[in-house]
Amino acid sequence: MKPVIALVGRPNVGKSTLFNRLTKSRDAIVADFAGLTRDRHYGNGRQGRHEYIVVDTGGFEPDASAGIYREMAKQTQQAVAEADVVFFVVDARAGVSAQDHDIAKYLRRLSKPCILIANKAEGMVEGVQLAEFYELGLGAVVPVSAAHGQGIRGLVDAAFGLL
C-alpha cells in the first residue's frame, strides 16, 4: 500500500502548489484567492523510489461554526484521519498566525506523524527567519519552495523516514 500524505494548513500558504509539485500534476486548483480548493483532492506521486498518494484540502478553520468553513474543516479532519503522515504547511513569509496555532493545537493532540513545512522559503535564511515556527510545538520546520521546487526531495525523504 502506498502511504497517504495529507496537506493541511490555512488558506493561501501554498498547499495546492505543493500538491502539484509532489504529484507533478496541475490537478489541484492553484489560486490567488484564499481557500478555493474546497474539497479533498487526491493525486499519485513519486520521488525516486518513494511512491505515495497526496491529499490536498481546503483551508482549515477548526472553530468556524457555519457554512463552507465547517465543511472545509470536516474535509480536512477526514483527510488527516485517513493519512499516514500529515504535512502541515505554513507561510514562511507571513510568519506564525493565530490560525496556525489553532491547527498546531489540533495536530499535537493526534498521535500521527506530522511534518511542519515552511513554504515560500526561497531565498530565506533558515536558522534566522524560520526560528519562530518552533513555537508551534511540532519540532523542526522544513523549509521548501513549492513554486520553485526547492526542498521537495528532502521533504519526501523525511516523510518516509517517519513511516
| Residue 119 binds to Mg ion (criterion: CB under 5 A) | no
Least gap, CB of 49 to ligand GDP (angstroms) = 25
Cα 49 from Cα 119, distance rounded (Å)? 24
| Residue 37 binds to Mg ion (criterion: CB under 5 A) | yes
Q: Which is nearer to ligand GDP, 75 or 145 (CB)?
A: 145
Q: Which is nearer to ligand GDP, 59 or 85 (CB)?
A: 59
All three cell numbers of 155: 521533504
Contacts of 35-43 spanning 24+ positions with Cβ under 8 A: 35/11, 35/59, 35/72, 38/68, 38/71, 38/72, 38/75, 39/75, 40/75, 40/78, 40/79, 41/16, 43/19
Helix (H, G, I), strand (E, B) or coil at 54: strand
Do residues 160 and 50 make contact, with C-beta atoms less than 8 angstroms apart?
Answer: yes
Binding residues: 9-16, 56-60, 119-122
Give the count of beta carbons closer than 10 Å to the beta carbon of residue 141.
Answer: 21
Binding residues for GTP: 9-16, 56-60, 119-122
All three cell numbers of 119: 513554504
Q: Which does 99 bind (CB under 5 to 8 A by kind): ligand GDP, Mg ion, none?
A: none
Q: Which does 13 bind (CB under 5 to 8 A by kind): Mg ion, ligand GDP, none?
A: ligand GDP
In the list 6, 16, 116, 156, the residue contacting Mg ion (rule: CB under 5 A) is 16
Q: Which is nearer to ligand GDP, 58 or 111 (CB)?
A: 58
Q: Which does 130 bind (CB under 5 to 8 A by kind): Mg ion, ligand GDP, none?
A: none
Interface positions with Mg ion (CB under 5 A): 15-16, 37
